[in-house]
Chains A and B, each alone.
Chain A
C-alpha cells in the first residue's frame, strides 16, 4: 500500500526566504506526482504535475523535482511571499491505471511579512 509523507508538517518563515518542501512515497511504481496548494476551507489548486519519466517541472517561482528511485519529490519556492501562505499537498498516482491517488497530509506554510 502506497504511503505518502510530507515533512515538515508546518513551517513559518519570514518573507523572502527560499523554501524546500518534501514529499516521500514508499512505492516507486508511480504514474505521476502532483503538487497542490490549499487555502483554508477551500479546494485544492494544482501547482505542478510531474510525469514519472520527468525529473522536474517549473512554474514561475516554483520548481518541483522527482526522484522515483529514492521515492522523493521536493517543491522549491523561491523568494517566498505572504500570499504563499497555505497548505501544500502532494499526491501520487500509481502506475497500472487505477487512478486512485494517495495524498500526503500536507505542509502548512506561513510566510510572515
Chain B
C-alpha cells in the first residue's frame, strides 16, 4: 500500500495570505488528523476528520480549518497567515487499529 502523501512539500507565503495543504491517506483509512510541529511547542493536534466529518478539534484559532472529501483525502486551510504559523504541518491517517501513519509533512514558511 502507498503511504500517506502530502502536497506541497514546501511553501513560502507572506503575512496575510492564505494557504491550502493537501493530504491523501493510506487506502482504506477513513481517519485523517492534522498536526503542527514547531521547535518551541512540539507536536500539537489541530483537528481530526472521519468520514467527512470533523470529529475532534484542538486548541487553534478559527483561521485554521479543514475538510475531508468522500475519498478520505483531506485539506487544511490557514487564512490570514502570521509569522508564527511557520511550521512543519503533518497529517496522519489511521484505521480501526488506531496505529497512526504519518506523511512526510509540508514545511510552511511565512515571511
Q: Show the binding face of A for B, using Cβ within 8 Å.
A: 31-32, 34, 36, 41-46, 49, 89, 91, 93, 98-101, 103-106
Prevailing SS type, chain B contact patch: strand
Q: Given that A41-B107, A44-B90 are known contacts, is A103 also in contact with B98, CB under 8 Å in the complex?
A: no
Q: Which of B88-107 contact A (CB under 8 A)?
A: 88, 90, 92, 97-105, 107
Q: Which of B40-57 contact A (CB under 8 A)?
A: 42-43, 45, 48, 50, 55-56
| A–B Cβ pairs within 8 angstroms, 24 of them | A32-B98, A41-B88, A41-B105, A43-B102, A44-B102, A45-B102, A46-B99, A46-B100, A46-B101, A46-B102, A49-B97, A49-B99, A93-B98, A98-B56, A99-B33, A99-B55, A99-B56, A99-B98, A100-B45, A100-B48, A100-B58, A101-B100, A103-B43, A105-B42
Q: Show the binding face of B for A, using Cβ within 8 Å.
A: 4, 6, 31, 33, 42-43, 45, 48, 50, 55-56, 58, 88, 90, 92, 97-105, 107
Residues in A neighbouring B97, C-beta threshold 8 A: 49
Contact: B104 with A43, CB < 8 Å? yes
Residues in A neighbouring B99, C-beta threshold 8 A: 34, 46, 49
A101 and B97 CA atoms in complex are apart in Å by 14
A31 and B102 CA atoms in complex are apart in Å by 19
Residues in B neighbouring A44, C-beta threshold 8 A: 90, 92, 100, 102
Contact: A31 with B101, CB < 8 Å? no
Residues in A neighbouring B45, C-beta threshold 8 A: 100-101
A31 and B100 CA atoms in complex are apart in Å by 13
Minimum Cβ distance to chain B for residue A92 (Å)? 12
Residues in B neighbouring A46, C-beta threshold 8 A: 99-102
Interface-central residue, B43, B50, B90, B101, by most chain A CB under 10 Å: B43
A34 and B4 CA atoms in complex are apart in Å by 17
Minimum Cβ distance to chain A for residue B61 (Å)? 17
